[in-house]
Amino acid sequence: MTRTLTVTPFDPVSASAAARLRVGQLLTDSHSFAFPEDPPLVPEREALGLTHLTPGEAMAHFVVWDGEEGTEALGWGSLDYSLTENLHAVHARLVVHPSKRRRGLGRDLARVLEGVARREGRRVVTFGTNDREPAGSILARLLGAEPALPMRVSQLDLARVSGDLLAAWTTRPDGDPYRLHLWERVPEEFLARTAEIMMVMNTAPRGDLDVEDWQIRPEMIRAWEAMGDESGTVRLLLAAEDTRTGELAGYTEIYWNPGRAPLAHQGATAVRPSQRGQGLGKWLKAEMLSHVRERCPGVQVIRTGNAHENAAMLGINVAMGFEPWGEFTEWQVRLGEKG
């Protein structure tokens, strides 16, 4: 007799360490299947990440177990959503073990996640897929999702970066009023200013995504720093201060974990609209490379994603030497009235 597999609610915080680790192993196996050339994920770190929650947000997790909780996890899905803004939207993640696909588990998880979104009064569900794992986009279309924000994923080989280009980008004019600050933990005196400059990312292209501006609060930054400390992830943040006003004009950030040393991820890069056109973005990104080489031993490549319509940032990255690595698509499902 074929055993029925059911989608079960899962609370990572109250669950046993063994159950969390099984889900971490699922995420690790699925990632290795999709990206075999990448440094593998670490199951224990993925399990720990399930417990992380940003202030002002909620999450709902579900697992398909092969038997009782704590045995093999065949599928996992989650919704995260803000309790204070974008109250119409949720973001979903969904993973089915590569060896267990084509059994309807993805659709079963998606139906449960949709039910939670409806119960919370949300009308838009967003999620992302990478073209290196075609099953994601196949499921997205089966669910009636629309591709809302196509992105180019690019990778930079640090050994091939032009020294002349970096020298040109890091040369500033005489009397330049900007100075750089490098932080792993934002000093208290800059915390509010850092939250404010991070919100410049709201000016980045959103394609057709039905989402509103997000607010960044100091307590969120402190929570992200604590999560990074717990997982052993290094976050380097380089900020440009306008010394005439004390205002932060721009920033860039890199994420790196020594457990996956060859690969670093470029986070946000943003320059305040009123201070663009002065080479600050190029300066920040070029200066960051010297810090990455110094503080991230063993790093070989940096990976990043940019919306295709973000011509300015793509231009900087291409000039720096970033080459196409893949395609990432942010999808959305609009939940109509239940029929």
pLDDT string in tens for the chain (339-residue length): 345 689 999 999 999 999 999 999 999 999 999 999 999 999 999 999 999 999 999 999 999 999 877 689 999 999 999 999 999 999 999 999 999 998 899 999 999 999 999 999 999 999 999 999 999 999 999 999 999 999 999 999 999 999 999 999 999 999 999 999 999 999 999 999 999 999 999 999 999 999 999 999 999 999 999 999 999 999 999 999 999 999 999 999 999 999 999 999 999 999 999 999 999 999 999 999 999 999 999 999 999 999 999 999 999 999 999 999 999 999 999 998 554
Which CATH fold topology does 7-144 show? Aminopeptidase (3.40.630)
Residues 119-154 have pLDDT tens digits of 999 999 999 999 999 999 999 999 999 999 999 999
- Three-state secondary structure call for residue 143: coil
- DSSP alpha helices (H): ranges in the chain? 17-34, 43-49, 105-119, 135-142, 163-169, 188-198, 218-231, 280-295, 311-320
**Could you count the other beta carbons within 10 Å of the beta carbon of residue 258?**
12
Same topology, domains 7-144 and 154-328? Answer is yes
- pTM, two decimal places: 0.94
CA-to-CA dists, residue 220 to 79, 122, 199, 204, 216, angstroms: 19, 23, 12, 20, 7
154-328: CATH class? alpha beta
Do 248 and 193 contact (CB within 8 A), yes or no?
yes
The Cα 183–Cα 157 span in angstroms is: 24
Q: Hey, where are the domains in the chain?
A: 7-144, 154-328
- Using alpha carbons, select from 156, 60, 71, 151 the residue that is nearest to residue 109: 60
Query: Residue 73 has which token pair?
Result: 């996890």
Query: Residue 189 has which token pair?
Result: 């005196």
